[in-house]
Structure 1
Amino acid sequence: MQKICDSAEEALAGKTFDGMMVASGGFGLCGIPETLIEALVASGTKNITAISNNAGVDDFGLGRLLRTRQISKMISSYVGENKEFERQYLAKELEIEFCPQGTLAERMRAGGAGIPGFYTKTGVGTLIAEGKETKTFNGEEYLLETGLVADLAIVKAWKGDPYGNLVYRKSARNFNPMAAACGKFTVAEVEEIVGPGELEPDHIHTPGIFVQRLVLATRNEKRIEQRTVRTGAV
């Protein structure tokens, strides 16, 4: 099966529609699918529910889709570093479903594994638990969380082969494997496409069975989200 596309636009062709749910890999500015996000901006798709740890920063990462008002709801765990995100939320222009970071990762993983729900202690007795079912196990209260399945997943990997097998590099792996698995249709952008058999099987993080299309990334900007410096000792 030919999975490699010539462009991000081709990779997303026929898979975007208004009101869709999109899972995006990445953590802050690390391991984000910049090329595919830009193609999603160009598609004009509206009323997107975005599943991601955060929304990037102003005008970068998912912040690009916030700037164009294409996202109407975020399911995320961290909303800092983005003034436009803050402005839209406070103005009630953007709906947010807050989710603890570990719970968000597990909700994506569960969705990809076909698990409709699971119980966790995280969030019990807090605002996160409002309206959710709880159950007692061994005298401890647990909260029911649902698995997440997205209409489309977009991820960023270091290397990929023609079969869609992916390898991430160090901390850029972050949420990408879970996002890739929870999409009904997954598109991956990679920094390098290698030949069949060039990836060591034991080193593959996302098997190609989860990836339907692959494209070579044209945007590989390495940003530092927060730079902390100090003067050297005299």
Structure 2
Amino acid sequence: MGKVKVFGFWASPYSRRVEIALQMKGVEYEYVEEDLQNKSELLLEYNPIHKQVPVLVHDGKAIAESLVILEYIDEVWKCCHILPTDPYERAHARFWANFIEDKLMHHRIKHAFVSKGEESEKAAKEIEELFELLEDEIKGKKLFGGNDIGFVDITATIVALWIPLIQEAVGKTILTREKYPLLCNWADELLQCNVIKHNLPDNDKLVAFLRHILCQTYE
């Protein structure tokens, strides 16, 4: 099927998505860790538009943007479907993945957890509304993909791991088990899956990194 290479960054939930998908499919790949303060010429060549990780290079051809890469992986390697085979269910999964992507962009997280005053309150309210909708969507299901990890579960690893660790890093809590018990139970279930557990960064290391990034003077 051709050589596979992933350009990523250890603390990025976006590049971790790609590795999870490849390992679910049993695809062998070479991983290239990027220094985001000093990006490699290859990364800039492969992703000249956004100049960001992740980038998947398959047989010399580059694909950027994590959700696009997940769909590509699912189409090329047919085993262990990430997206549902039913057209309606597939569209439904794409909707929720895009919803999570739009609502939990980095600047919104930073605004909710680090900024002050009205800006912080507005961003926190937006994230709370997202959690409420996800709480309703996961009702009656073990995972968003049903009994198996799917497209939405992989996309939502940012909710399962990064959000709780951001809360620990900055000392502000929005996602709680009292308010969102079903979403927290989903996160517990997801984080126990081997393919997820083995593809996530060390908690202490990630908390230290997040504290450094998010607790800098907010501009």
**Under a length normalisation based on structure 1, what TM-score does the superposition of the two structures give?**
0.27
**Under a length normalisation based on structure 2, what TM-score does the superposition of the two structures give?**
0.28
Larger Rg: 1
Choose between structure 1 and 2: higher helix proportion: 2
